[in-house]
Structure 1
Amino acid sequence: MKKKVILVTGASGYLGSRLCRELFNSGHHVKAFVRRTSDVSSLPPPTDGGSSGGTLELVYGDVTDYPSLVQACSGCHVIFHAAALVEHWLPDPSRFIAVNVGGLKNVLQAYKETGTIEKIVYTSSFFALGPTDGYVADETQVHPGKFFTTEYEKSKAVADKVALDAASDGVPIVLAYPGVVYGGGKVTTANTVANMLVERFNGRLPGYIGQAKERFSFSHVDDVVNGHISAMDKGKLGERYLLTGQNASWKEVFDIAAMITQTKKPSFGIPIFILVFYGWMSVLLAKITGKVPLVSPPMVRMIKHQWAYSCDKAKAELGYHPRSLEEGLSEVLPWLKSSGSIKY
């Protein structure tokens, strides 16, 4: 295998850090693009060549700062653009467009200026395709754009069009659409499942959220990482690949968690109006504390819809093999317990 020089944006994030480690273990030279203030504890040590010959270099900057990005791209063969602002609410919603759209535009411009990039693997999101109320969608779905439950969803839908336009202009880009990513690792706001399980087992979320009909597509982080690397190796230029997994409701997630831990299932569902009230109170508190709330009114709007998708295309063309929720949660729950985050 030819050793490639690979830039990973968002390298200190939940998905990005796991992607860097896997690329490093595969023997590539990884340039981890991080901010000076980023927590890089989940990345392999810089300049440490493993037995497989992988190396990792920290390069500093921000996707919204074009000069730092184009400098980081120098000499690279592949860009994994995984940097994104993944939140359901922020006090300044304009940041979503600035980072999620502006950052992608900067990556595309850097590709043109660098001249050595063979492929860009862009991490989009299932939100970019829109809700799937009453059916299961595939890569042919385009966001209708009539409404957006969150500013994050809107920014990813706008960025999706930017990426597809770039592909039609000949940019060598492959688009990856993970589902709700979960697994071990950082318990960031992007690791929604881990956060919900922590709230559930600590008694702060005593009932089910949403209803049984409201399904999301859950993707284990390691499966998503493998899907990204397969997209680099096998992905067809300009194509979209859903890196999703089992379609299930949050009720099913909590029921599977109860079965694995041999604990009692929640006995009631939390009414939407209570979640809305809790969301507004959480946002008011967040404006005082500066801490992003677990629940917000946009998040409640989002859980009222279905987000169910098929990953058959990725299975056929990339060899993508998503694990079941039971298998994935059987790993996550003991990890949360061993870290002291939950007890059961």
Structure 2
Amino acid sequence: ALDGLDLTVVAGDVLDPASLVRAVEGVEVVYHAAARISLKHDDPVATRINTEGARNVVEACLAAGVRRLVHFSSIHACSPNPPDQPIDEARPLFDDSPLAYDRSKAAGEGEVRAGIERGLDAVIVIPTAVIGPNDFKPSRMGRLVVDVCKRRLPATVEGGFNWVDVRDVAAGALAAAARGRRGERYLLGGEYLSLHALACQVAACCGVRSPWFCSPSWLAKLGVPFASLYAAMTGKEPLFNAASVDIVRHHGLVSHEKAARELGYSPRPLRETIADTVAWFRERGAIR
């Protein structure tokens, strides 16, 4: 992912405070995007990386006199309630979520807040569901794109997300570093689309048949044990579980008006993102 870029690579570990101090020494702006995504109810590793890791980054920035920290939070750190009102920067943290990822990202924001109270200049960016090209691992959404194009995803589940292009998240973070107000949160969203509609757009870009069935949540949950069994047999992480079936029914209404007003944030159309993502996977030979 870093091949051909004009940069210096410095090894570091968010759980190794000494390595962080060395990594940020002499640096003006730190972008803290390291995190572990988890769909488990309890995940000690995710909790350490997302919460303790944020605390260690804050301490390193304070010790090194970093001019500004841009901390990447998540829409899942924001409470989904009330569900009928758009989520904006005033939405409380989701610190009582049943999922470890949500709780740990909310706690990570708390660590940054504590650092700000101690004098740290930091801003917080809050991306929604990220999708886009340059998905090297790939992510869960990258896997979904590939599976649709290879006709390995005959069905989807009801619900959807507010989707944002990874390139627009990067641009928003750069703008937050340059123009964001100290201590402020900036929600970086895009547009809402159901999972089924997203899969259909991906299929159209690939020139294959769209998934033929959109499962209601209750039926999808009945299929979770079979998805888990298939994942265990193939050695892959399951594409969905009971938690992810619930997640796609939350965080749909999102407002990025503040980022647009203060940062000049302007996300591209989702159709463009989908087309570019499919083209990128095709160029890498992951799909035909």
Q: TM-score, normalised by structure 1?
A: 0.76
Task: Give how far 1:318 is off.
Answer: 0.8
Hey, what's the Cα distance between the residues in 2 that align with 1:152 and 1:188? 19
Task: Give how far 1:234 is off.
Answer: 0.6
In the alignment, what sits opposite 1:276? 221
Report SS of the residue matched to 1:248.
strand
Q: Pick closer, same or farther for the CA change 1:287–1:257 going to 2, 3 Å.
A: closer
Q: Pick closer, same or farther for the CA change 1:127–1:144 going to 2, 3 Å.
A: closer
Hey, what's the Cα distance between the residues in 1 that align with 2:30 and 2:216? 44
Whether contact under 8 Å (2:127, 2:189) holds in the other structure is: yes
Choose from 62, 66, 76 the match for 2:17: 66
Pair 1:114-2:64 in alignment = yes
Alignment of 1:48-127 (within 5 A): 55-89=6-40, 93-115=43-65, 117-127=66-76
Alignment of 1:224-263 (within 5 A): 224-263=169-208
Please tell me the residue identity of whatever aligns with 1:119: R
Report SS of the residue matched to 2:125.
strand
- Deviations for 1:262-306, whole angstroms, at most 9, x for unmatched residues? 544333212434432443344456567764322222222212334
Report SS of the residue matched to 2:87.
coil
Pair 1:188-2:137 in alignment = yes
Hey, what's the Cα distance between the residues in 1 that align with 2:232 and 2:275? 36
Whether contact under 8 Å (1:182, 1:192) holds in the other structure is: no
Hey, what's the Cα distance between the residues in 2 that align with 1:59 and 1:319? 31
Choose from 292, 295, 299 the match for 2:237: 292
Identity of counterpart residues, as a percentage? 30
Please tell me the residue identity of whatever aligns with 1:131: P
Q: Pick closer, same or farther for the CA change 1:339–1:219 going to 2, 3 Å.
A: same
- Deviations for 1:148-196, whole angstroms, at most 9, x for unmatched residues? 3x3211211111222223323331010001111111113435x333221
Hey, what's the Cα distance between the residues in 1 that align with 2:32 and 2:125? 10
Whether contact under 8 Å (1:180, 1:192) holds in the other structure is: no
Hey, what's the Cα distance between the residues in 2 that align with 1:340 and 1:43? 19
In the alignment, what sits opposite 1:168? 117
Please tell me the residue identity of whatever aligns with 2:79: G
In the alignment, what sits opposite 2:277? 332
Q: Pick closer, same or farther for the CA change 1:224–1:273 going to 2, 3 Å.
A: same
Q: Pick closer, same or farther for the CA change 1:292–1:215 going to 2, 3 Å.
A: closer
Whether contact under 8 Å (2:71, 2:123) holds in the other structure is: yes
- More divergent stretch after superposition (298-307 vs 72-81): 298-307
- More divergent stretch after superposition (283-292 vs 261-270): 283-292
Give unpaired runs (5+ residues) of structure 2.
none
Give unpaired runs (5+ residues) of structure 1.
1-41, 49-54
Q: CA RMSD in A?
A: 2.4
Hey, what's the Cα distance between the residues in 2 that align with 1:144 and 1:103? 19
Please tell me the residue identity of whatever aligns with 1:99: I
Q: Pick closer, same or farther for the CA change 1:292–1:192 going to 2, 3 Å.
A: closer
In the alignment, what sits opposite 2:91? 141
- More divergent stretch after superposition (231-240 vs 126-135): 126-135
Instruction: Considering Cα pairs closer than 8 Å and 6+ residues apart, tell me whether 1 or 2 has the greater RCO.
Output: 2
Report SS of the residue matched to 1:108.
helix
Q: Pick closer, same or farther for the CA change 1:250–1:63 going to 2, 3 Å.
A: same
Whether contact under 8 Å (2:95, 2:102) holds in the other structure is: no
Whether contact under 8 Å (2:135, 2:142) holds in the other structure is: no
Q: TM-score, normalised by structure 2?
A: 0.89
